[in-house]
Structure 1
């Protein structure tokens, strides 16, 4: 854990109908001092939307060697490289060479996130997934954030329904490749 990190807890009820994933999660999330609330909420949602056996948060912003979220198999081999925010092309190229799949979850305008990648070398760029939410969704969700959080995440037909500390929010889940 990074020095000065703030710990947030999330008790999550996850119901991802699209993938057939239903679980209760108890997450302890270390928020680095330079990490925004919007980035942290996006990181938690990426974890929930990618949830499978072997998933874990990495060291986060304090680690330059790993993405925000990783999935490893039982042998420790890297299966998924899941970035949050706006990583550069070199980082995605590196991650794509190490993992079977790469995804980027962003709370920003996806066109602006992807624009710097144009023309850059990214291994298996055609397989990369860029996931975003409706404009303002993350900013609205951040208003309900506290240090201890109760959260329900429901996904059906690529629609995300979020209840965070008694407040409800919804958004479409937008997914695109990179052009």
Structure 2
């Protein structure tokens, strides 16, 4: 018998000062049996960074032809493609050809550093690609927020994310490795 996904619920309040986006939303996240809680929280953090009423989680790990998160336009074209981990260059190129904006969130410092050294020149050819990295320390602190039912407040300004719930407060900052095809 196959294992089923574990469901997480998150009530989020986002104040993105840079984009002038203020949003309250109720999210449902399905954690695949092979996914860690740490990766789930990175997906949630990425959603908070791009918060929008049209932004939605996809089938993710279960679908090779979809990102983990996307925003579709009125004609079901992909406006924003958000993926995680250390994908193959072909997957990134395919994403860049299908979407006007592609964000890749890398994590796991040891593997990510090696992957980035091997891929950076090739990926820098994609003008619509942004690659962001979150350190292991910050990712571990983010995981402390994980619960089956979460209520989170996120404030974003000038690249800094302040995240809080009733017990935890955290300041996060991504390392931008590539911004719209330009090495940072």
TM-score where L is the length of structure 2 = 0.87
Query: Alpha-carbon deviations, 1:7-26, whole Å to 9, x = none?
Result: 00010010111111110010
Q: What CA distance in whole angstroms lies between the structure 1 residues aligned with 2:47 and 2:151? A: 15
Partner of 1:146: 147
Query: Alpha-carbon deviations, 1:72-126, whole Å to 9, x = none?
Result: 0111111111111222211101100100111111333353342342454x59524
Aligned-pair Cα RMSD in Å:
2.1
Q: What CA distance in whole angstroms lies between the structure 2 residues aligned with 1:167 and 1:115? A: 35
Partner of 2:41: 41
Q: Judge conservation of contact 2:7–2:30 (CA < 8 Å) in 1.
A: yes
Q: Segments of 4+ in structure 1 off by > 3 A?
A: 110-113
Q: What CA distance in whole angstroms lies between the structure 1 residues aligned with 2:165 and 2:23? A: 16
Q: What CA distance in whole angstroms lies between the structure 1 residues aligned with 2:35 and 2:147? A: 15
Aligned residues: 177
Q: What CA distance in whole angstroms lies between the structure 2 residues aligned with 1:163 and 1:24? A: 14
Q: What CA distance in whole angstroms lies between the structure 1 residues aligned with 2:73 and 2:124? A: 21
Query: Alpha-carbon deviations, 1:21-70, whole Å to 9, x = none?
Result: 11001000000000111111111111111122421111011111101111
Secondary structure in structure 2 of the residue aligned to 1:136: helix
- Higher mean displacement: 109-118 or 64-73: 109-118
Residues 170, 152 of structure 1: alpha-carbon distance in 2 compared, 3 angstrom cutoff? same
Partner of 2:116: 114
Matched, 1:80 2:80: yes
Q: What CA distance in whole angstroms lies between the structure 2 residues aligned with 1:21 and 1:53? A: 10
TM-score where L is the length of structure 1 = 0.89
Q: What CA distance in whole angstroms lies between the structure 2 residues aligned with 1:129 and 1:119? A: 13
Q: What CA distance in whole angstroms lies between the structure 2 residues aligned with 1:75 and 1:13? A: 28
Q: Judge conservation of contact 2:18–2:156 (CA < 8 Å) in 1.
A: yes
Matched, 1:166 2:140: no
